[in-house]
Amino acid sequence: MNEPFLSAIPVLKRLEDSGYEAYFVGGSVRDYLLKRPISDVDIAVSATPEEVKKIFPKTVDIGIEHGTVLVLIHNHSYEITTFRTEGEYQDYRRPKEVAFIRNLNEDLQRRDFTMNAMAMDRYGTLIDPFNGQLAIKEKMIQTVGSATERFQEDALRIMRAVRFVSQLSFSIEADTLKALTKLVPLLQNIAIERKRVEFEKLLVGENCHKAMEILLETNLFSFLPGLENQKKLIEGLMAYNTKNLSKKEMWSLLLFCLNLHGKAIEVFLRNWRLPVKDIKEIQQIVEYLEKRLEQEWSVYDLYTAGRNTVTSTEKLHDVIKGLTGLQSQQQWLNLYDALPIKQRSDISVTGGDLMEWFQRHGGPWLKETILKIEYAILMGVVMNDKQKIKEWLMTCSQN
């Protein structure tokens, strides 16, 4: 075993010493077998959340109704979830209520795909009742039990299957794909927030193109906000090499392909329930991208965009133009780094200075003057030095 499992072994041991069964489960075991980087280990335990809380002094209730407690120990945090079944499903969504159980196999059985339904004990022994290892070897996404039933229980699993195609470059097993194609309309019952999590993972996966193909072939895209009638435009997105693009850059490229502007971008992303801050950033990237495709950067635009937006815009510009070298990106970033100021607060003069120099009270003139100074510094007309700016302002006001 390797990190992050090694650090978590004492947590499992402590649970076992208290008389419970505890295992690594889910995505972390899958990714371990695939030799993929692992961010967090998921731990499943036969103890109830209350019992877990008695064992560890520092815990946080992060989803106690689903059986999950966060344990804080040695500067690490671990999500520990009680073995559970999901009881009755309603309206093709995961149930509100879950039942805690003491049996690992039943817990594994409620999981979506065989590759995600394995457990590993603290000695590295695998518990694999559904042949998950074979699925991994064959790069197959297959539901645990009847695909039709599993997708009817929780239709989000339909999207999860496709995002694993993107993330892992696996294929969907024939029966699973058949059921998925038939049941795609059930996705209309699923909360957009849950769809977004899966869609964003799909967008940044290594095999995004293949996943997009499946979205189109199965008509799944028709059940995603704002993509309902956009087959042609999604095909447009697939023409690009999107490797190495971040989540925000992928959203921006998608919006560019959909030919959305200004307010329409905001509406689209709000429908996907993106946080306001992300919406603003993505809007900015698309705006600068459109400009950049027409012309080179001006010094003033580099400044107002900021380093991150310049980087993202340049990456997308190169993707759209089919350029591969990083040379021009670097050139623009060098120019950005050489700007005499990076933000308004870098200006060596304050509003207070101006009021004192001109013996005037505050008012619109103050903002105007600051803007004038900002522009002059950026254009190299005056140095960002208090005395120099004062002299420059005085000569200006004499003319």
Would you tell me which residues interact with ligand ATP (CB under 6 A)? Answer: 26-27, 42, 94, 111-112, 116, 154, 156-157, 160, 201
Output 156 or 212, the one with its CB closest to ligand ATP: 156
Task: Please give the distance of CA 158 from its chain centroid, rounded to a whole number.
Answer: 19
Min. distance of Cβ 116 from Mg ion in angstroms? Answer: 9
Q: How far apart are CA 27 and CA 36, in angstroms?
A: 10
Using the rule CB under 5 A, is 306 a contact of Mg ion? no
Q: Is the dihedral of CA 127, 202, 87, 148 positive or negative?
A: negative
Output 42 or 173, the one with its CB closest to ligand ATP: 42
198 interacts with, out of ligand ATP, Mg ion, none, CB within 5 to 8 A per kind: none
Output 27 or 225, the one with its CB closest to ligand ATP: 27
Output 195 or 317, the one with its CB closest to ligand ATP: 195
Question: Is residue 248 a contact partner of residue 282, using CB atoms and an 8 Å limit?
Answer: yes
Closest C-alpha to 313, from 351, 355, 285: 285
Output 36 or 360, the one with its CB closest to ligand ATP: 36
In which residue are the tokens 């309603």 written? 90
315 interacts with, out of ligand ATP, Mg ion, none, CB within 5 to 8 A per kind: none
Number of residues that bind Mg ion (CB under 5 A): 1
SS3 11: helix
Min. distance of Cβ 156 from ligand ATP in angstroms? Answer: 5
Q: What is the dihedral of CA 147, 150, 154, 157, to 10 degrees?
A: -50
260 interacts with, out of Mg ion, ligand ATP, none, CB within 5 to 8 A per kind: none
> Buried b vs exposed e over 375-385: b needs ≥16 C-beta within 10 Å?
ebbbeeebebe
Using the rule CB under 5 A, is 145 a contact of Mg ion? no
In three state form, how does the secondary structure of 231-271 look? Answer: HHHHHHHCCCCCCCCCHHHHHHHHHHHCCCCHHHHHHHHHH
112 interacts with, out of Mg ion, ligand ATP, none, CB within 5 to 8 A per kind: ligand ATP
- Specify the DSSP element, H or E, that contains 84: strand 84-85
Min. distance of Cβ 299 from ligand ATP in angstroms? Answer: 41
- State the CB neighbour count (10 A cutoff) for residue 5: 18
Min. distance of Cβ 352 from ligand ATP in angstroms? Answer: 51
Q: How far apart are CA 4 and CA 56, in angstroms?
A: 19
Measuring CA to CA, how many Å separate 283 from each of 69, 203, 226, 266, 388? 37, 18, 16, 7, 37
Tokens of 63: 């989803």
Output 163 or 292, the one with its CB closest to Mg ion: 163
Instruction: Give Cβ neighbours of residue 225 (< 8 Å, ≥ 6 apart).
Output: 192, 195, 268, 271, 272
Q: Which stretch binds Mg ion (CB under 5 A): 21-29, 64-72, 267-275, 338-346?
A: 21-29
Q: Which stretch binds Mg ion (CB under 5 A): 27-35, 93-101, 332-340, 391-399?
A: 27-35
Using the rule CB under 5 A, is 4 a contact of Mg ion? no
Min. distance of Cβ 76 from ligand ATP in angstroms? Answer: 17
Q: How far apart are CA 202 and CA 70, in angstroms?
A: 27
How many residues would you count in the chain?
399
Q: Which residue is nearest to Mg ion (CB)?
A: 27
Q: How far apart are CA 39 and CA 203, in angstroms?
A: 19
Output 32 or 303, the one with its CB closest to ligand ATP: 32
Task: Please give the distance of CA 174 from its chain centroid, rounded to a whole number.
Answer: 29
Output 20 or 24, the one with its CB closest to Mg ion: 24
Output 42 or 281, the one with its CB closest to ligand ATP: 42
Min. distance of Cβ 259 from ligand ATP in angstroms? Answer: 31
Min. distance of Cβ 27 from Mg ion in angstroms? Answer: 4
Min. distance of Cβ 215 from ligand ATP in angstroms? Answer: 18
SS3 26: coil
Min. distance of Cβ 2 from Mg ion in angstroms? Answer: 17
Q: What is the dihedral of CA 356, 361, 366, 369, to 10 degrees?
A: -50
306 interacts with, out of Mg ion, ligand ATP, none, CB within 5 to 8 A per kind: none
Output 93 or 291, the one with its CB closest to ligand ATP: 93
Using the rule CB under 5 A, is 27 a contact of Mg ion? yes
Q: Which stretch binds Mg ion (CB under 5 A): 22-30, 163-171, 216-224, 293-301?
A: 22-30
Residues at the contact surface with Mg ion, assessed by CB under 5 A: 27
